[in-house]
Structure 1
Amino acid sequence: MDLILSYSWDPMNTRIGTSKNRDTRLILERRLLDHSKMVSEDDDALLELSVIPNLIWTDDNVHDSTLSALNQMRKNKHFCDVTLQVGKQDFPSHRAVLAAVSPYLFELFTAKEDQPTVKEAGHGIIYKLNGGFDKYALEKLIEYAYTGCLNVPGEKIIPVYAAAIRLKMDNVSSECARFLCSNLDLTTCFETRALTGIICSKLSSDLLSKVDKFIADNLMALRESRELRSLPRICLEILHNSKEGLESALVPNLCQLCLIWIHQQWNEDECLTIEDLTSKDYLLFIAEDNTLQDCDLIGEDSQINSERIQDYKKSNHTSKAKKSPRIYSVKPSKAKELLYTRHINQDEVKTEERSEDWKLIACSNLEDDKRSILGVVTVNGSLATLSIIQRINTPTKTLSEFNLSVHQQKHTSPRISRPPSVDKDDFTPVAVMNEAKCAVGGCCLDGKLIICGGYDRGECLNRVESYNPISNRWTSLEPMLTKRGRFGITTLNGCIYAVGGSNGSTELSSVEKYDKRTKKWSVIASLPIGISNNGVCTFGDRVYCIGGLYGQSGTKFCYALNEEQTQWNKICSLNIGRSQTAVTVFQDKIWVVGGCDSWAPLNYVEIYDPITNLWQFGPPLMSPRRGCGLTAKDGLLYAIGGSDGTRSLCTTEVYDPSIGVWRVGSNMTSCRTNVSTVLVGNSIWAIGGFSGKIFLNTLEYMEVDEWTNYIPIKSDDEEANESSSSDPMSNRDTSSTPAPHNNQSSSVHFDI
Structure 2
Amino acid sequence: MPSRGMLSAPWLAILAVWAAGCSAQETDAAGHPLLLVIGRYSGGPNPFNPQTLILNLSSDTWYRGADRLHVGDHHTADVVANRLYVAGGFSDNANGKLQIYDPLTNTWSLGPPPPVNSGAAASAVIGRSIYYCGGVSNGNQQSGPPTPACARYDVDSGMWANISSMPYAVHHASGGSDGKRYFYVFGGRTASGNTPFGPVGYTQLYDTATDEWRADLPDLPVGRGGMGPAILLDGRFHIFSGEVRCGSPGIVCPNTATGLTSTGVYTRIDRYDPVSRAWDLAPPPGMAVPRHGMYPVLGPAPPTAPALSDRQVVA
Please confirm whether the aligned pair reaches a TM-score higher than 0.5, indicating the same fold.
Answer: yes
Equivalent in the alignment of 1:518: 157
In the superposition, relative to structure 1, how do residues 598 and 614 fare at CA in structure 2: closer, same or farther (>3 Å)? Answer: farther
Equivalent in the alignment of 2:255: none
TM-score (norm 2): 0.65
CA drift at 1:509: 0.1
Q: Secondary structure at the match of 1:616?
A: strand
Q: Secondary structure at the match of 2:119?
A: coil
| Larger helix share, 1 or 2 | 1
Equivalent in the alignment of 1:432: 67
Instruction: Answer yes or no: is 1:444 the counterpart of 2:79.
Output: yes
In the superposition, relative to structure 1, how do residues 592 and 470 fare at CA in structure 2: closer, same or farther (>3 Å)? Answer: same
Instruction: Answer yes or no: is 1:530 the counterpart of 2:165.
Output: no
- Structure 1 unaligned spans of 5+: 1-329, 333-349, 354-414, 416-426, 637-653, 665-752
Q: Distance between the aligned counterparts of 2:306 and 2:278, measured in 1?
A: 21
Equivalent in the alignment of 1:568: 213
Q: Distance between the aligned counterparts of 2:147 and 2:267, measured in 1?
A: 27
Q: Secondary structure at the match of 1:553?
A: coil
Paired AA for residue 243 in structure 2: C
Q: Distance between the aligned counterparts of 2:185 and 2:17, measured in 1?
A: 33
Which of 298, 304, 309 aligns to 1:658? It is: 309
Q: Secondary structure at the match of 1:595?
A: coil
Q: Distance between the aligned counterparts of 1:657 and 1:611, measured in 2?
A: 28
Equivalent in the alignment of 2:123: 489
Equivalent in the alignment of 2:237: 590
- Give the count of matched residue pairs: 229
Conservation of the 8 A alpha-carbon contact between 2:116 and 2:150: no
Which residues in structure 2 correspond to 1:92-491 (within 5 Å)? 352=44, 429-456=64-91, 461-491=95-125
Deviations, residues 450-503 of structure 1 (Å, cap 9, x unaligned): 11111105x661111211111111121111112110011111121111111112
Equivalent in the alignment of 2:134: 500
Q: Structure with the greater relative contact order (CA < 8 A, sep ≥ 6): 1 or 2?
A: 2
Q: Distance between the aligned counterparts of 2:218 and 2:169, measured in 1?
A: 19
Paired AA for residue 214 in structure 2: N
Deviations, residues 210-246 of structure 1 (Å, cap 9, x unaligned): xxxxxxxxxxxxxxxxxxxxxxxxxxxxxxxxxxxxx
Paired AA for residue 269 in structure 2: V
Conservation of the 8 A alpha-carbon contact between 1:460 and 1:484: no
Instruction: Answer yes or no: is 1:628 the counterpart of 2:262.
Output: no
Deviations, residues 277-311 of structure 1 (Å, cap 9, x unaligned): xxxxxxxxxxxxxxxxxxxxxxxxxxxxxxxxxxx
Q: Secondary structure at the match of 2:110?
A: strand
CA drift at 1:538: 1.1
Which of 533, 554, 560 aligns to 2:199? It is: 554
Equivalent in the alignment of 2:55: none
Q: Distance between the aligned counterparts of 1:634 and 1:437, measured in 2?
A: 28
Q: Distance between the aligned counterparts of 1:557 and 1:464, measured in 2?
A: 27
Q: Secondary structure at the match of 2:237?
A: strand
Equivalent in the alignment of 2:280: 616
Deviations, residues 321-377 of structure 1 (Å, cap 9, x unaligned): xxxxxxxxx999xxxxxxxxxxxxxxxxx9739xxxxxxxxxxxxxxxxxxxxxxxx
Deviations, residues 362-407 of structure 1 (Å, cap 9, x unaligned): xxxxxxxxxxxxxxxxxxxxxxxxxxxxxxxxxxxxxxxxxxxxxx
Q: Secondary structure at the match of 2:130?
A: strand
Conservation of the 8 A alpha-carbon contact between 1:558 and 1:573: yes
CA drift at 1:589: 1.2
| Larger strand share, 1 or 2 | 2
Paired AA for residue 490 in structure 1: A
Q: Distance between the aligned counterparts of 1:629 and 1:331, measured in 2?
A: 8
Q: Distance between the aligned counterparts of 1:435 and 1:587, measured in 2?
A: 36
Instruction: Answer yes or no: is 1:545 the counterpart of 2:185.
Output: yes
CA drift at 1:598: 3.5
Instruction: Answer yes or no: is 1:578 the counterpart of 2:218.
Output: no
Q: Distance between the aligned counterparts of 2:122 and 2:198, measured in 1?
A: 17
Highest CA radius of gyration, 1 or 2? Answer: 1
Conservation of the 8 A alpha-carbon contact between 2:181 and 2:209: no
Conservation of the 8 A alpha-carbon contact between 2:17 and 2:294: no
Which of 257, 264, 270 aligns to 1:606? It is: 270
- Structure 2 unaligned spans of 5+: 1-15, 19-41, 46-58, 192-196, 247-263
Q: Distance between the aligned counterparts of 2:136 and 2:130, measured in 1?
A: 18
Q: Distance between the aligned counterparts of 2:128 and 2:172, measured in 1?
A: 24
Q: Secondary structure at the match of 2:136?
A: coil
Equivalent in the alignment of 2:56: none
Paired AA for residue 435 in structure 1: H
In the superposition, relative to structure 1, how do residues 598 and 462 fare at CA in structure 2: closer, same or farther (>3 Å)? Answer: same
Q: Secondary structure at the match of 2:183?
A: strand
CA drift at 1:566: 2.1
Q: Distance between the aligned counterparts of 2:219 and 2:279, measured in 1?
A: 8
